[in-house]
Structure 1
Amino acid sequence: MRTSVFGISIKYEEWNGQDSLPLYISASYDFRIACIGNKRCIVLTPTAELATLPSLKKQIKKIQELDKLPVVFDLVTISNYRRKSFLDNNISFITDKQVFLPFIGTLLMEEIEDQKPPNKFVYSTQQLFLFYMYSKKKRLYTSDAGKELPYTAMTLSRAVKQIKATGLFFVAKDGVNQFIESKYSRYELFERAKIYLSSPVREVGYIDKTQVTEDMVFAGETALAEKTMLNPNRVKTYAISEKDYDKALLAKELIDPDEDVKLELWAYKPKQFSKDKNADDLSLILSFKDTHDERIHQAIDELQERRLQGQ
């Protein structure tokens, strides 16, 4: 709850008019009386997505039929388009960086909407992105991601900022709960995000097949052949997190194709998003980012089409 706005103190009181409002209005906001300096107003904090401008104007009219006080929207952020429509229609709002309160004068401070896009996601951001892709939810709350991903709240907060900077997602709050929501279908999102995504493979070598453990999953051409029409390679490929394996134990060259397997060390656990004995589809696709083999590209296109088309 804000206690001041650009140096002007704010004190709050309860507003009891919401019970007299239609449910579609009363359920969409938290209502409070706010004293900003020596001016009183009704502050509306959205608990759901904001309605269209014509609907908002009707809602304001309904509220002011009960109480003649000015109505102010308390927002996390505001888009350039929404801000212009509010200014043009004399609708008051407050964000962390912008204020429009015509009943006590106007204060405006530019909010940087478009941060510089990142060159590449760090791997914690990439995992948050993949978690969103696999969640199959239009809106993903970061608190849900925090329960599944091995990162602190601070690391996830940085990941959300990096995701927001791409312009591919809406980032906002539902009450106190932050969420991300893609602007695109899953297929188009993945295509647009590829410039920010990296191969999870950090190191590659060979081990004796007797050294394969339960923490390893099929990866590379072995996993791709399981999921597509690609002919499997004679030497099987596995993957494991680089944190779970000493890379000094990797042989740099293949000695015996009948006794050795290829092992990829990944930046994150290849089982993180996997539902079976293979690495997950999207990480598998990313693991071939540097290949120029036409057979691989055809198999990748087949896998991506099947996994994401229509989502």
Structure 2
Amino acid sequence: MMEKLKLYIHQLFGAELTLAPFDGGGLPYLLQGSYDFQLATLNNLQFILMFDRGKTALTPASIAKHSELVAGYAKLPAVYTATSLISYNRGRLLKRHVPFIVPDRQLYLPFLHAAFTEISSAAPKEFSGLGNTAQLLILGQLNRKFPEPLSIAMAQEFSGYSRISVIRAFDELEFFHLAQRSGASRRLSFLPSGKKLWQNALPLLKNPCRRVVGLEKLPEALSPCVAGVNALARRTLLAESKRREYAVHASEFNRLGYIPVVPKRFAPILLQLWLYSPKLITSDGVDSFSLYLTLKDELDERIQIALDELMNAVLW
């Protein structure tokens, strides 16, 4: 099975999967008897593969619990792996957001922003995490920007994206069991909402900031939102930075043509160029969820404490 798995991963990612035995001696005996554990490395990222030995029938609920125990023990993502698994149970694992691999059938690795599923006998359909439109719809729901169920036309009006982009976003949200369509109109309703939606979607959400440029002054034609540390400081006890930081849609900045930039470490102003306009969600600054996504990987402990304060203040 391991060679079949390696071939499957190489076909999907174009990269080699390396495996090494993992000592699960500190795990409960039930898990040691049910699985073979391997430390997997793919594109310099490590995770634990839980190979189902097939000795006992495992329910999706028990697999989810076992995966949680192994991840806590190893301090790495744990991925259930089996030679076969009926589609119904694969769907239940997806609903529980449990990473799994069934070679040549389906793969769900949210920590790698990757999901593949078989389409009849053709090549698997690929979702590289959530696209920009799907992410924007999630943020719109979290910020209560539209009623549900959501029609394609309503989603277009909110996001500004094309009908094709919205339909693909609906497909992605359904695939990851974050929403579902119903009725003849095929309108979309988010399955969990509020805090649960945020928790389920977070591994698939990306930083909206494409890049940051340093400026001596803001161009008059721009109408940016306060962003970064200063936006966080205005909502928490964090001290403001002397350097100003703003965010705009990347296309808004690009339309200005040539704008002189300066090295970021010397710049008095930092301008974040986003995948979407921050003003689509709020008109008076960056919304809390997008702000969290731009700062969640910062190593400064003060910022992490302030982010916790920010999210604790959200009225779910």
TM-score of the aligned structures, taking structure 1 as reference length: 0.56
Partner of 1:251: 262
2:222–2:252 contact (8 Å) kept in structure 1: no
Larger Rg: 1
Q: CA deviation at 1:224?
A: 0.8
Is 1:221 the counterpart of 2:266? The answer is: no
Per-residue CA deviation, residues 6-26 of structure 1 (Å, 9 max, x unaligned), is: xxxxxxxxxxxxxxxxxxxxx
What's the CA shift string for 1:11-68, capped at 9, x where partnerless? xxxxxxxxxxxxxxxxxxxxxxxxxxxxxxxxxxxxxxxxxxxxxxxxxxxxxxxxxx
2:136 aligns with: 127
Secondary structure of the residue aligned to 1:124 is helix
Note the alpha carbon deviations across 1:245-267, whole angstroms, 9 max, x for none: 148633233336xxx21111111
Instruction: In structure 1, give the amino acid aligned to 2:229.
Output: E
CA offsets, 1:202-242, max 9 Å, x none?
A: 11121123536542110001111111111111101011111
Identity percentage of aligned residues? 26
Which residue pairs with 1:196 in the alignment? Answer: 204
Q: Deviations over 1:124-166 (max 9, x none)?
A: 2111221222226453333222222111111100010011111
CA contact (8 A) 2:222 2:253 kept: no
Q: Name the Cα RMSD after superposition.
A: 2.7
- How far residue 283 of structure 1 moved from its aligned partner, in angstroms, is 1.0
Rounded Cα–Cα distance in structure 1 between residues aligned with 2:175 and 2:301: 33
Per mean C-alpha deviation after superposition, the further-off stretch among 117-126 and 134-143 is 134-143
Contact 1:169 1:183 in 2 (8 A): yes
Partner of 2:281: 273
Maintained 8 Å contact 2:142/2:193: no
Closer/same/farther in 2, CA of residues 201 and 80 from structure 1, 3 Å limit: same
Q: Does the Cα contact within 8 Å between 2:230 and 2:240 map onto a contact in 1?
A: yes
What are the Cα deviations for residues 88-118 of structure 1, in whole angstroms up to 9, with x where unaligned?
A: xxxxxxxxxxxxxxxxxxxxxxx99xx9784
User: Is it true that 1:293 corresponds to 2:300 in the alignment?
Assistant: yes
Q: 2:175 aligns with which of 165, 174, 177?
A: 165
Q: Deviations over 1:170-190 (max 9, x none)?
A: 2223x42x3222222311110
CA contact (8 A) 2:296 2:307 kept: no
Asked if the contact 1:204/1:263 (under 8 Å) is kept, the reply is yes
Which residue type is aligned with residue 136 of structure 2? Q
Report the Cα distance in structure 2 between the residues aligned to 1:126 and 1:117, rounded to whole angstroms. 17
Relative distance call for 1:212 and 1:224 in structure 2 (3 A) is farther
**Residues 61-86 of structure 1: per-residue CA shift (max 9 Å, x gap):** xxxxxxxxxxxxxxxxxx979xxxxx
Contact 1:117–1:165 (Cα < 8 Å) also in 2: no
The structure-2 alpha-carbon separation of the partners of 1:272 and 1:186, relative to structure 1 and needing over 3 Å to count, comes to same
Letter of the 2:168 partner, please give it: R
Which position in structure 1 is the counterpart of 2:47? none
Secondary structure at 2:130's aligned position in 1?
coil
In 2, the alpha carbon distance for the partners of 1:279 and 1:236 equals: 14
Q: Secondary structure at the match of 1:263?
A: strand
Gaps in structure 2 of 5+ consecutive residues: 1-86, 90-118
* Partner SS for 2:295: coil
Alignment of 1:82-161 (within 5 A): 118-135=127-144, 137=147, 139-161=149-171
What secondary structure sits across from 1:262 in the alignment? strand
Give the AA of the match of 1:183.
L
State the one-letter code of the partner of 2:219: Q
**Runs of 4 or more above 4 Å deviation:** none
Tell me how far apart the structure 2 counterparts of residues 127 and 191 of structure 1 sit (CA, whole Å): 16
Indicate which of 226, 230, 238 corresponds to 2:238. Answer: 230
Structure 1 unaligned runs (5+)?
Answer: 1-78, 82-110
Aligned residue pairs, count: 194
The CA distance in 2 between the partners of 1:306 and 1:186, in whole Å, is 13
The amino acid across from 1:280 in the alignment is: D
